[in-house]
Amino acid sequence: MSSRTNRGILDRLKKGVVQGAEGYVFELERRGYIKAGPYVPEVVLDFPEAVKELHREFLRAGSEVMVALTYYAHREKLKDVGRENDLEFMNRQAVRLANEVAREGDALIAGNICNTWAYDPQNAQASSKIVRAMYEEQLGWALEEGIDFVISETNDYLGEALIALEVIKQLKLPAMVTLASVQHDQTRDGYDYIEACKILADHGADIVGLNCDRGPETMLSIIEKIRSVVSCYVAAQPVPYKTNAQYPTFESLRTGSGEQAFPLLLEPFLCNRFEMAEFARIAQAIGINYIGICCGGAPHYVRAMAEALGKTVPASKYSPVMELHPVLGAHVEEKHKEFLADWKS
Ligand SMILES: [Zn+2]
């Protein structure tokens, strides 16, 4: 493994907030390169330039981490779309693409593993073996191609997240392990999200937290509690959708006519860039260390969040003209007050 930068993830976190950006699968689906339904990142092999372009857009907008697009590039999912033979090449290529773009700036490369759909708490021993083998093969290839740390994400089960953590630690890499939060307050194997993060931290995770599923408003209250019980770094990567107390996750949002909005009718619920910038500011204020975005994310959000965190990034050259700020600013100021009042109550 070649070293791309002298500033690893833990060094950067020690000095301040690290900004991430995800949502590659959702964005590349919108751009016509990934099939909604299976959501397998075939684009890595079929249109590698499209993947590099999105990496580059996130890099220009302020993301300090290029996350290799290996989400759902595991054996179970590739079987579903008849591309099991492409498994190794897809995983290696995804890490290579992330590396190529990271070198255009000063970004880190994160290997990426996720929930496998193979873990079964009723049959933990046998299913853990399968999950472990999947993680070992994916991360083995990633390590050979060159990664700085690993993000294990959208974990529905604490049991599965702990397997991921063990595999990452065996490889002696920094581990960021984040939970999905589709259910009200517990993982699918019955651990409160806050307790689950505490257990992951106690088992040696360097960064714990939440990603995906919840928008800013419904993620903040949980993430703040996680912050208060762990001493390790905490990550928050919400989806940019207006989830609320009644519909706390983007999977639960309903259109006016009562249909489930997820995954293809979500546009009316999108946050604006100022709301995501506000999320970044609040997250920083409550001590969150790794701040990013998940499904639905796009470069304009990432740039607005970067600027809210006090950075000027390459894409800032084309940030909105100042004349637009007072108009939008006044409106956003009001929304911000409501937002703050809501989440604090
Ligand atoms: Zn997501």
Residues constituting the chain: 345
Residues 6+ apart with CB under 8 A from 93: 44, 45, 48
Contact 155, 199 (CB under 8 A): no
Q: Does position 59 have pLDDT exceeding 70, yes or no?
A: yes
Find the helix or strand (DSSP H, E) in which 233 lies: strand 233-237
In angstroms, what is the span from residue 235 Cα to ligand 1's centroid?
14
Give 75's pLDDT tier (boundaries 50, 70, 90). confident
d(CA 277, CA 46): 34
The string of pLDDT tens digits covering residues 141-198 is 999 999 999 999 999 999 999 999 999 999 999 999 999 999 999 999 999 999 999 9
What is the pLDDT averaged over residues 66-72? 95
CA of 39 to the centre of ligand 1 (A): 12
Record the tokens describing residue 343, joined without a space.
Answer: 């989440």
Residue 237 CA, ligand 1 centroid: distance in Å: 8
Written as six digits, the tokens of 4 are: 């791309």
Report helix, strand or coil for 24: helix
Cα–ligand 1 centroid distance for 292 (angstroms) = 11
pLDDT of residue 1: 46
Q: Are 40 and 89 in contact (CB under 8 A)?
A: no
Please check the confidence at residue 220 and state whether its pLDDT lies above 60.
Answer: yes
- Cβ atoms within 10 Å of 191's Cβ, excluding its own: 20
* Residue 321: band (very low, low, confident or very high) from pLDDT cuts 50, 70, 90: confident
pLDDT, one tens digit per residue, over 8-22 is 999 999 999 999 999
CA of 26 to the centre of ligand 1 (A): 8
- In the reported structure, the alpha carbon of residue 330 is separated from the centroid of ligand 1 by a whole-number distance in angstroms of 31
Inter-residue contact 304 to 277 (CB < 8 Å): yes
Q: Which tokens in the block code for residue 143?
A: 């390590």
Residues 6 or more apart whose CB falls under 8 angstroms from that of 37 comprise none
The whole-number pLDDT of residue 95 equals 98
Please, which residues have CB within 8 angstroms of residue 299's CB and are 6 or more apart in sequence?
57, 58, 60, 61, 315
Rg, C-alpha atoms of the chain: 19
